[in-house]
Structure 1
Amino acid sequence: MEGPAPGKFLFADAGTDRLIALADGPAPWLRPHFVDNRGMLLSKIQALVIDTGSRRIIVDTCLGNGKERAVPNWSGLQLPFLEDLAAAGYPTESIDTVVCTHLHVDHVGWNTRLEDGAWVPTFPNARYLFVRGEYQYWNEAGYADEPILEDSITPVMEAGLVDLVAADHVLLDEGGTVVRFEPTFGHTPAHVSVVIESVGRRAVISGDLIHHPVQMAIPNWASRFDYDADATRATRKAFLDRYADGSTLVIGTHFATPSAGKIVALDAGTWKLEV
């Protein structure tokens, strides 16, 4: 899913006038990829595949089809996600690992699919990796008004496909390639980003630590969906500072196309995404 949305869906202060002024003034780099001329945020919901040659890891599984959700255009979807995945060369049976950076609705949906009236694992040959603290929090706290546990998390637990792991878990370390979790708590209690290192190069999938590149221009903007806004602000600033090294490719889970770029440090504690 990709397109424009009102900024205030995510950020309390992101009215259209404010976003236009930002793109017209101190952050012109937000156009044309991330803010449009009407002052709308451009973003997407996507899954990302890490293909090492020996492993096929899918990171975050979007919204899923046929699920009852509080956001109207996320509810009862019937979209060709699995067909698109197969057309890209990744049929469901070829995926060996499913990673959820956190357990929000738009990161767990395709963990399961509806089959003969029951929710069954979408990726039958995969191990599903949930950070232990993240799973424990949501399993105890539940979700307000949405059956996310019932339709997207519990079925894979009951199928015996879930590994509960530490927030610094190493998924893969072979042949000069490392794929590992990096703790980036705050957006949720045990949110992680995913770091990929190979042949001297590095990429990192941000998850929702940075919902939108506008948070590089105004890093204090907290998402309406942050569990601990102050913790996320601190974690985000440390992340931006750490990866403003001119070489790390930062891939935003919700960044609009082209979805990836290099972080560049600017004056006064702000950054930009160079695509």
Structure 2
Amino acid sequence: MRVDILSIFPEMFAPLDQSIVGKAQEKGILELYTHDFREQAKNKQRHVDDMPYGGGQGMLLMPQPIFDTMDLIPQNEEKPARVILLDPAGKKFDQKMAEELAEEEQLIFICGHYEGYDERIKQLVTDEVSLGDFVLTGGEVAATVMIDAVVRLLPGVLGKAASHEDDSFSSGLLEYPQYTRPQEYRGMKVPEVLMSGHHENIRKWRLEESLKKTLARRPDLLEQYEMNEEEEKILQELSEKAQDMVK
């Protein structure tokens, strides 16, 4: 995958040279490029923003520096890049979107600052995306998070092909609790079922714990989750136990 980032603060993406994303670049799985669109500004002061027509608060990013920067980025004409505009008003980013973007050959992220964008910039864009219902100083932090979430899904990035499949949200449920050595620490013991070596019992325990955790912390996820017969039975039992505790 090739990822291009348009930003006036390219140094903010230094974390992407570390950890899993950094290793993906070392392996040649990921090509990452940052583009300072201030370099394409035509005015003497190299300003990339200006006051909005009609008045109003703040400054807007001008279209020219971003359009000219986009013209310099190579793309496959047969399969153009997905161009993502980081915008608080955009569609909320989630694991499903990360999985969808991981199927692409090239992603381009446009990171804004100031009050917003000249509307014409959106002509370049395929997706307007938000990290959540809050406002950041700029799009750099959001882009970093999204790139990390996408790149770890690329084949060959993680040590095992299925390493991400049990992650929270990948299955639609929150991830079950996990333990490692020592077996007992400060009076806290690893559940016996995990020490049994009985794979079917471990699978059932993990499924129940995932459902229990999701029901307690993110019941909204269950509204969209398509449960099989086994999961419906477990959830029914959990609900009945919860009701008995209230009584």
TM-score by length of 1: 0.22
Pair member with larger Rg: 2
TM-score by length of 2: 0.24
- As a proportion of its length, which structure holds more helix? 2
